[in-house]
Amino acid sequence: MNDTTILEAVDLRKAYGHGLQRMPILDGIDFRVRKGDFVSVVGPSGCGKTTLLMALAGLSQPDTGEVRFRGQPVTQPPQGLAVVFQDYSRSLFPWKTARENVIFAMRDTAQKTRQERRDRADELLAAVGLKEFAQKYPWQLSGGMQQRVAIARGLASESDLLLLDEPLAAVDAQTRADMQDLILELAQRFDQTCLLVTHDVDEAVYMADKVIVLSRRPTSVATEIPVDLGKRRDQLATREQPGFLHARHEVMERIRSYRSQMAG
Amino acid sequence: MIPLRKPADYAPILMPLIVVAIWALAAASTSSPLFPGPAKVAQAIWHNFSTIMVQLGATLTRVVIGFAVAAAITVPLGIMLGRLRIIGQLFEPVMDMLATLPPPAIVPLVMLFAGTGDAAKITMIAFAAAIPLLMNTYEASKTQNEMANLVARSLRLSRFETMLRVDLPAALPMIATGVRMAVAAALLVSVTSEILLATDGIGVFLQRQQENFQIAGGLAGIFFISLTGLVVNTLILAFEKRWLFWHYRAQEDAK
């Protein structure tokens, strides 16, 4: 194993049900995430992206195969790995303010005193543009703002790897573009390795250094497409670059081939 | 500054006044000593005030102890049973059976083990309060959203921490409903148990008054019991507003 590999999936397999009802979901998933990378995982709908993410996060066990995080096999959620879930309206605790929700993630972190945690939470909330909203409760915030609190919470645990499970699937289009840039900016600023699971091909390519394309179910890795667009991205310029269009084309073509197979 | 009062603000006071007025008229139109008017009852309250307070005090002390015992046992138990699915399912039929059992039915059994003193009454009160508390806590803990638990697990909370810091607060709104039902049941059973196992308490006071044909005195006692219920309910509502505002506000916002 190469030194800079932070997360590794080795021949992950998982099926639901038994006997004749047995339905294989993951059928041998292999890939690596290197430290400092922003990796997108994209695949046709219903291809078991969530199942994969749960296994990567240590929230469920694969039937066979192994997830290795910093070289150690993952059997339960490991320290140093944070998850931002899609369903922000349920993932934040309604009885806690935005600040308290962020502080909730500071369990194994350097901030020990109440004041240190508070300051750190406020710093992170400012980083996601919610400086003024630290005292607000999640239900007083819009969907996009709630997801930004959840992202701040993800950053608060000072993890080596942030797993993002379709974090922008439920926010409106304009907010989504803003939040893509916000996440990219935060990833750089906090030197955060990220793995983004998404169904949106453009988003996958726009955000990532590498796109992992999944096949349809039973799912394996169809192909990995490197995206050489540098770390700085721009909603207009990046999306017009030949490199972007080329990568997008390749991903799209691959996913479309699965769709037509399903239709046929 | 005193805010201007709207007519609607007086509505809660108006209705009791009307009832008292009708009562006074009805009592005045009959000469039966078994139907005292408000004036007679007020007099009885005046005469018996210290006795009523002492007896009510004895009753409420037992209610508080019984309720506290019930809550201390059933809330953690309910959360745990809700979390540990299999054990919860084992206990569910038992809970359903106990829920339909009228608390006075256990009096003979309780007497066998705890006699007729405070211990027996507190046991009955605790039993009556325990059922709604347990059912509501269990139901809340069982049905709460998976996502909160995924978050707790990914933040590496232990099972115990998850119960304390995630499951308990999430279950509070339903527990509050259980509390309201439990307080009503506790008050009911405390008075019933006193009438059945007479030693002291407001229930005993009521019975003595009735035995001596002191209808006005009995009504005075009843007046204070309902007043207690009103005060307790107001207190519960105040607590809910203070601790569960996030639940009610979030629900309003979702509309």
Into how many domains does chain B fold?
Answer: 1
- The per-residue pLDDT for A1 is 46
The Cα–Cα gap between A179 and A173 comes to 10
Q: Closest Cα of chain B to A254: distance in Å?
A: 32
Residue in chain B lying closest to A92 (CA): B148
pLDDT digits (tens, 9 = 90+) for B148-205: 889 999 999 998 899 899 989 999 999 999 999 999 999 989 988 888 887 788 888 8
Q: How many CA atoms lie within 13 A of A146 on its CB side?
A: 23
The Cα–Cα gap between B159 and B149 comes to 10
- The per-residue pLDDT for A264 is 46
For testing contact with chain B, the best of A79, A92, A139, A159 (most B CBs within 10 A): A139
Quick check: is B21 in a domain? no
CA angle A51, A56, A59 (to 5 degrees): 70
Of A58, A94, A104, the CB nearest to B250: A94
Run of H or E including A34: strand A23-34
CB pair distance less than 8 Å for A59 and B150: yes
Residue in chain B lying closest to A77 (CA): B154
Quick check: is B51 in a domain? yes
- The per-residue pLDDT for B36 is 86
Identify the domain containing residue B122 by its residue range. 40-225
The Cα–Cα gap between A79 and A100 comes to 20
Quick check: is B15 in a domain? no
Quick check: is B31 in a domain? no
Judged by a CB distance cut-off of 8 A, whether residue A201 touches chain B is no
Q: Which residue has the higher pLDDT, B80 or B213?
A: B80
The Cα–Cα gap between A246 and A82 comes to 32
- The per-residue pLDDT for B254 is 62
Q: At what angle do helices A143-156 and A173-189 cross, to 10 degrees?
A: 20
- Contact assessment for residue A216 and residue A262, using Cβ atoms and an 8 Å cutoff: yes
Asked whether the CA dihedral A203, A206, A208, A213 is positive or negative, the reply is positive
CATH of the domain at B178: 1.10.3720.10
CB pair distance less than 8 Å for B156 and A87: no
Quick check: is B129 in a domain? yes
CB pair distance less than 8 Å for B154 and A140: no
Provide the ipTM.
Answer: 0.87
- The per-residue pLDDT for A93 is 94
pLDDT digits (tens, 9 = 90+) for B42-84: 888 888 889 899 999 999 999 999 999 999 999 999 999 988 8
Quick check: is B176 in a domain? yes
Q: Which residues of chain A have pLDDT under 50?
A: 1, 264
Of B145, B154, B172, the CB nearest to A59: B154
The Cα–Cα gap between A7 and A104 comes to 25
Mean pLDDT of chain A: 90
